[in-house]
Chain A
Amino acid sequence: MDYYETEEDSALTTFNVEEAKEIIRSAVEGVVGGNVYQHSRVKQWNSSVIEQCLSQLNKLGKPFKYIVNCIIMQKTGAGLQTACACFWDNSTDGCCAVKWENESMHCIVNVFGMAI
């Protein structure tokens, strides 16, 4: 018996990078857009960005496990380098990174999606 995967099947079982990027961008804009870096508020911002991303991703209703990572750094000219490596199933799993900035801070959000 041959197994034929339709386009709809594939859309449900593979990680959609564009969709995830949109979710991240709107979460970051909504939470930190227009704000200046403040040490007292950054923890709250981080939590909010992550919570919003995760709940929007879950609303997609796909059979995926998600990991959302967010870094907020004050702009002072310091160097920051991030990297990631993944051991997973290339045909279904995926990740995306969104870099956002304003005059006072950088915000980097990574989303990893793994098919169950």
Chain B
Amino acid sequence: MTGMEEFHNGSEGAFNSEEADNIVKECIESVVGGDDYSQSQVNKWTASIVERCLTQLVKSWKPYKYIVTCAVMQKTGAGLHTANSCYWDTAMDGSCTVRWENRTMNCVVSVFAVAIA
């Protein structure tokens, strides 16, 4: 089964996307909240965001494999479009995407959770 997601949360089956949403928002805020886009720091930021999200998700000890992706883009008026599609078990697996921004940058984080049989 395939599904398309664009900048909105998908709530499917046993995956709690609201919980994941909150975890992600907290992680983003704690890493880049209040900062301006900086080319020298952005590498560190994206790594921290994905690492923190993953650590928090795994702490729940649910039988899932997780993938966390993060894109941080400087705000200059350039166009950016991101989409994803998944081939999986729609009853058990799920995803959520969080879009965050401040004055100088956009940040899009996606979490995918795939149930372990």
Q: A residues within 8 Å of B by Cβ?
A: 37, 39, 42-43, 46-47, 50-51, 54, 57-58, 65-89, 93, 95, 110, 112, 114, 116
B76 adjacent to A76 (CB under 8 Å): yes
A58 adjacent to B39 (CB under 8 Å): no
Q: Would you give the shortest CB distance from A75 to chain B, in whole angstroms? A: 8
Give the interface size bracket for B toward A.
35 or more
Partner of A78, one of B4, B47, B73, B89: B73
B74 adjacent to A82 (CB under 8 Å): no
A54 adjacent to B2 (CB under 8 Å): yes
19 A-B interface contacts by CB (under 8 A): A39-B79, A42-B81, A43-B6, A43-B81, A46-B82, A57-B87, A65-B88, A67-B85, A75-B78, A76-B78, A81-B43, A81-B71, A84-B69, A84-B70, A85-B53, A86-B66, A88-B114, A110-B69, A112-B112
